[in-house]
Amino acid sequence: MARIRSKKNSSRKELITLAAARLFREKGFSATGMRDLAGDVGVEAASLYNHISSKAELLQEICFRIANTFTTQLNELEANDTMSSIEKIEQVIRFHIRMWVDRIDEVLVANNESKYLDEPYLTTFYNERRIYVRRLEMIIEDGIKKKQIRKIQPYAVVLLLLSAVRGIEFWHRTKKNISAAELEDSMVVNIINGLAAQ
């Protein structure tokens, strides 16, 4: 029987998924072959199928794992009613930056390669993302209503947040001499200062 999912098995699949994320990010989903991936893992292409069921599944795994990570964090944040809107936004920004720094491969694949998801996953993924952005807007709207945040277009703010965080990628590539923590703090300070009322 052996119903216990062996540690070897799950860590092997995990290793393959992370290697796939790195390759999909670097070369793009379509340009990455199963033989490339196998070579990276140190195995023949056919052997991969002892652990995964298809190339498409790898992309799904990467994209939805990231989507769920962001959604879960937002769930916890929304449930917390002791934080002000500004504090919530600060937590969101910190979380985005941390994800960008720690899990850059998966995040970039979810951003840039998700268009290669098959249906119905493609539609599901885009819906989840749309809802996520909408929920961020609602936090900001709430903050404006409570006069904790300057009166501005919530959608524009979300846009600013997302593209500011996106800028980290460049920064991260060129200025290696700044630590992740420093980066996080200085970004948060800059953005939050621009938002706070008065």
Partner DNA sequence: AAATAAAGCTAACAGCTGTTAGTGACGTTG
Partner DNA sequence: CAACGTCACTAACAGCTGTTAGCTTTATTT
Q: Does 51 bind DNA (CB under 7 A)?
A: yes
* Of 48-56, 122-130, 158-166, 174-182: span binding DNA (CB under 7 A): 48-56
| Number of chain residues interacting with its own copies (CB under 8 A) | 18
User: Taking CB under 7 A as the rule, which mask of x and - marks residues 23-42 in contact with DNA?
Assistant: ---------xxxx--x----
The token pair that represents 74 in the structure block: 């937002």
Out of 3, 5, 8, 115, the only residue in the binding site for its own copies (CB under 8 A) is 115
Out of 116, 122, 132, 192, the only residue in the binding site for its own copies (CB under 8 A) is 116
b (16+ CB within 10 A) / e for 139-153: bbeebbeeebbeeee
Q: Does 112 bind its own copies (CB under 8 A)?
A: yes
| Partner from DNA, its own copies, none contacting 116, C-beta within 5 to 8 A by type | its own copies
Interface with DNA (CB under 7 A)? 1-2, 4, 6, 8-9, 12, 32-35, 38, 43-47, 49-51, 53-56
Interface with its own copies (CB under 8 A)? 27-31, 112, 115-116, 155, 159-160, 163-164, 166-167, 170-171, 174
